[in-house]
Amino acid sequence: GVVPQEFNFNIFETPLQIVRNQAGYYGIDRRTALARTEKYLTLLGLWKRRNDQAGQLSGGMKRRLMIARALVHEPRLLILDEPTAGVDIEIRRSMWDFLREINRSGTTIILTTHYLEEAEHLCRNIGIIDSGKLVENTSMRELLRQLHLETYVLDLERPLATIPVALDEAARLIDPTTLEIDIKKEEHLNDFYRLLSDNDIRVNSMRNKANRLEELFISRVGPSSVEGK
């Protein structure tokens, strides 16, 4: 199944017609086609809009309709070109959940994306293309091992007015209760926790910064490519 970036269905047809007709191109009998159409429109949150003209759907709904159409013949391989371009964060994350689920059920997915967070969340293997050339092709785990720094985001229990001197070089205060800190690979988290404790900084939660791929991406393609020069 293929999902291009541009919408390429008949905007005057309904989602029900678009997905059911696609099944017919693969010789699927009418009863099975209707059952699968209901299945994928329901999974993608479109069943209630099945009889509306496709042109009346929001951008996010149109993207999901494209995916439903590509899946109705239940392919083993799904190719997606910028599947979440132009959709809001909530829809993007719900689409990530759906793609992970069908991948776990046995569908291989190849996707192109400019969202580094999306690549990190979804992909086990990654290729980086620069000016038409494949400059990296490896597993996500192996690529992330090459990071010199891990960036963590800390949600603080109490507002922090200034960054303690001991943390100054590695830390950034995003807002009074959010601290971002870089830790070198060779450093131990225990040492970092000790510094926090010594400075009476209490942490409610701690997480990896989502865009860890940014450093690696720029190192492969160079800043001029990122800027479009």
Would you state the pLDDT for residue 212? 61
pLDDT attached to residue 229:
45
Is residue 24 a contact partner of residue 65, using CB atoms and an 8 Å limit?
A: no
What pLDDT, on a 0 to 100 scale, did the predictor assign at position 28? 97
- Ranges for all domains in the chain classified under CATH 3.40.50.300: 2-123
Residue 147 confidence (pLDDT): 67
Residue type at 123 in one-letter notation = C
Q: Could you list the pLDDT tens digit for every one of the 229 residues in the chain?
A: 999 999 999 999 999 999 999 999 999 999 999 999 999 999 999 999 999 999 999 999 999 999 999 999 999 999 999 998 888 888 888 999 999 999 999 999 999 988 878 888 899 999 988 888 898 898 988 887 776 677 888 999 999 888 888 887 778 888 999 998 888 777 778 888 888 899 899 999 988 775 566 667 776 676 555 455 4
Task: Return d(Cα 53, Cα 9) in angstroms, integer.
Answer: 11
CATH superfamily of 2-123: P-loop containing nucleotide triphosphate hydrolases (3.40.50.300)
Residue 207 is predicted with a pLDDT of 83
- The model carries a pTM of 0.69
Give residue 217's pLDDT: 72
Structure tokens at 178: 């959010």
Concatenated DSSP letters of 203-228: EEEEEE-TTTHHHHHHHHH-HHHHTT
Cβ(108)–Cβ(77) below 8 Å: yes
Homologous superfamily, domain 148-210:
Alpha-L RNA-binding motif (3.30.70.1560)
Contact 122, 213 (CB under 8 A): no
The alpha carbon torsion through 195, 200, 204, 205 (nearest 10 deg) reads -10
Residues of the chain with CATH 3.30.70.1560: 148-210
